[in-house]
Amino acid sequence: MRVIISAAGTGGHINPGIAIANKIKEKDSKSEILFIGTNRGLENDLVPRAGYNLKTINAYGFKKEFSITNLKHLCQTMASKKDVEKIFDEFKPDLVLGTGGYICVPVFDVAIKRKIPTVLHESNAYPGKTVKLFSKRVTKILVGFEETKVKLQGCKNVVVTGTPTKIKKINISKEQKKEILEEMGIRNNLPIVLIFGGSQGAKKINEAVIELIKDKKNEKYQIIWATGTKQFDTIKEIFEKENIYINNLKNVKILPYIYKMEEIMNIADLIVCRSGAMTITEISIVGKPSIFIPLPSVSANRQEDNALVLKKIGAAQIIQNNEVNGNILSQEIDNIIEDKKELEEMGKIANSIAPSNVEEKIYDELLNLQKN
């Protein structure tokens, strides 16, 4: 199988592509896989690090408002189809897979015209522009949620597979948990609230957590807080201006980034975070209650739609980004964290919608297309 995967920009697009590539190679080591991205996104780090070749084209996202820059980017994206054609001529793909985003526009336009089987994977509950654009032209659409399928009415080629992720549910003994917490300098006798906003952090979430900690509202629970690498030093300075030193904070562990996220998610009692599609999937897999602060979007409330998947079934609460502050966040955490039975029940409900055998399902769909 010779597969081209178009994935660019953020980890939310790139990591599912890599997970699918890994499954293809696991099943058939002779398969050839080539990624197409840009020279600007995380794909330039993540794809080579995963052991795959990357070809770049000059593609950009589309904005609704008119501007010279936007017009220039549109022309550059359409012109990049010539580069895609050269890549196709050299690689000769049997199948083209895309994980959404603007990079798919020139790639899929060429693939469809050449009548190469095409597959789009949509992680979000609300389908993106690219998926909508190509929904009735691609061979197959694979989606992360049942809700996505409902929003693609009229499309007969939609299959719910779930979204690939590295995070798995693991059984951690009480002794192991105690060791993990001791290593982080955290006690084992209070509930753990994990707070993060992605690798870059989330400014509004961080501001609310700063307020919460300054007001000492976390007496009944402990916080493991990943600020994001770019915001860590700024937050450290904010505290130090008030003679507060992060290493001396009670019931708080502040980190720029959490490298052992699977481990920490599994020992957490409650998770506070944004609601990207992959995060929703990971939380359902580990089976944890959550408080979501969706990243707002001018075009579509994709993160809010994602968060509603768990809120509607009673596994999560939502605080709007423009409403979150230290007091509101503290109240929401207190409402959930004090009731151990509610914590357990919310976690079980979240886990009840966790996808299973995601990569296997996706591989089977790709294999069937190749055979046909």
Summarised one tens digit per residue, pLDDT across range 64-80 is: 667 787 777 777 778 88
Q: Which residues of the chain have pLDDT under 70?
A: 62-65, 199, 298-300, 371-372
For residue 156, is it within any domain?
yes
For residue 169, is it within any domain?
no
For residue 20, is it within any domain?
yes
- For residues 195 and 58, state if they share a domain: no
- For residues 93 and 198, state if they share a domain: no
- The DSSP secondary-structure symbol of 175 reads H
Task: Tell me which amino acid residue 369 is.
Answer: L
Q: What are phi and psi of 318, to 5 degrees?
A: -125, 135
Planar angle of CA 41, 42, 46, nearest 5 degrees: 145
- CATH code, domain with 288: 3.40.50.2000
For residue 168, is it within any domain?
no
Segment (H or E) for 159? strand 158-160
What does the pLDDT read at residue 23?
A: 95
What does the pLDDT read at residue 199?
A: 67
- For residues 45 and 153, state if they share a domain: yes
Q: Order across the sheet with 95-98: list the strands.
A: 53-56, 32-37, 2-6, 95-98, 118-122, 140-143, 158-160
Please report, for residues 32, 77, 135, 360, the alpha-carbon distance to residue 29 in angstroms, rounded to integers and kept in the order given: 8, 33, 31, 15
The number of angstroms, rounded, from the C-alpha of 347 to the middle of its chain's C-alpha atoms is 19
- For residues 219 and 328, state if they share a domain: yes
Q: Do 129 and 108 touch, CB atoms closer than 8 A?
A: no
**Structural domain that includes position 250:** 174-352
For residue 69, is it within any domain?
yes
For residue 149, is it within any domain?
yes
- Its pTM stands at 0.84
Q: Do 54 and 43 touch, CB atoms closer than 8 A?
A: yes
- For residues 108 and 227, state if they share a domain: no
- For residues 65 and 203, state if they share a domain: no
- For residues 152 and 186, state if they share a domain: no
| CA torsion through residues 81, 87, 92, 93, sign | negative
For residue 284, is it within any domain?
yes
- For residues 64 and 186, state if they share a domain: no
- The DSSP secondary-structure symbol of 51 reads T
- For residues 124 and 178, state if they share a domain: no
CB-CB neighbours of 248 under 10 Å: 8
What does the pLDDT read at residue 19?
A: 92
What does the pLDDT read at residue 60?
A: 77
pLDDT digits (tens, 9 = 90+) for 333-372: 999 998 999 999 999 999 999 988 999 999 999 998 876 6
